[in-house]
Amino acid sequence: NAGVTQTPKFQVLKTGQSMTLQCAQDMNHEYMSWYRQDPGMGLRLIHYSVGAGITDQGEVPNGYNVSRSTTEDFPLRLLSAAPSQTSVYFCASSSRGPLGQGNSPLHFGNGTRLTVT
Amino acid sequence: GNSVTQMEGPVTLSEEAFLTINCTYTATGYPSLFWYVQYPGEGLQLLLKATKADDKGSNKGFEATYRKETTSFHLEKGSVQVSDSAVYFCALTEGGGKLIFGQGTELSVKP
């Protein structure tokens, strides 16, 4: 069972470069989201999606773009990398749950550690 | 807005000691509450959950009770092991697949 797969595991970028972090899930989950993890700050929501073709901003969306063309994939694009984007990025997915409220537990990928110099 | 506050770490315990990690929340409505655990180099895994007031979530010897009157969801374990060393996150759901996380508490258990 693959679950949520993130690539790459590690990435080093120079300031101003762009890149895409890949995320794929094979559980047919409706909801997908991207978080960044920084020391002492827990995880903060960047962008999320409630289904194919639908995305919205989270708490810290600036500098990132997303799209959701299929149920399985939810890539995160860094448009012009900055040192402040050095972080560990986690993709997560979840189902609507029995009541359709989206309160089901999240399934996480293993993360992408990004360093911007 | 909604928020989660956890006790600061790191927490260092000896094996077989009792563990409490405090978590309080601010939320409108009746969110579901979760504890996630992150082992070194890995993503977060669900440890336990509670969906309504007075629910007790439990897993692997860990327990937490959803206390609406004190807006708390403290994590407890009666006897910790070295293998419990990890970072623990308290979280609440805002629906739509979104979670609000606390800042995380690092636990280190010494033999």
Q: What is the pLDDT of residue A101?
A: 64
> At residue A100, does pLDDT exceed 70?
no
- Chain A residues with CB inside 8 Å of B51's CB? 103
Q: What is the pLDDT of residue A102?
A: 63
- Rounded Cα–Cα distance for residues A73 and B7 (Å): 35
Whether A90 has its CB under 8 Å from any CB of chain B: the answer is yes
Phi, psi for B15 (deg, rounded to 5)? -55, 140
pLDDT confidence band for A25 (50 / 70 / 90): very high
Tell if the CB–CB gap between B101 and A42 is shorter than 8 Å. Answer: yes
Tell if the CB–CB gap between B102 and A42 is shorter than 8 Å. Answer: yes
Q: Which amino acid appears at position B66 of this protein?
A: Y
Partner residue facing B97 (CB), from A41, A50, A108? A50
> At residue B79, does pLDDT exceed 80?
yes
Q: Is B83 helix (H, G, I), strand (E, B) or coil?
A: helix
User: Once rounded to an integer, what is the mean pLDDT over residues B67-94?
Assistant: 95
> At residue A99, does pLDDT exceed 70?
no
- Chain B residues with CB inside 8 Å of A68's CB? none
User: Once rounded to an integer, what is the mean pLDDT over residues A38-49?
Assistant: 90
* 8 A C-beta contact, residue B36 and residue B94: no
- Chain B residues with CB inside 8 Å of A29's CB? 97
User: Which of A40-44, B15-19, B20-24, B105-109 is least confident?
Assistant: A40-44
Q: What is the pLDDT of residue B55?
A: 94
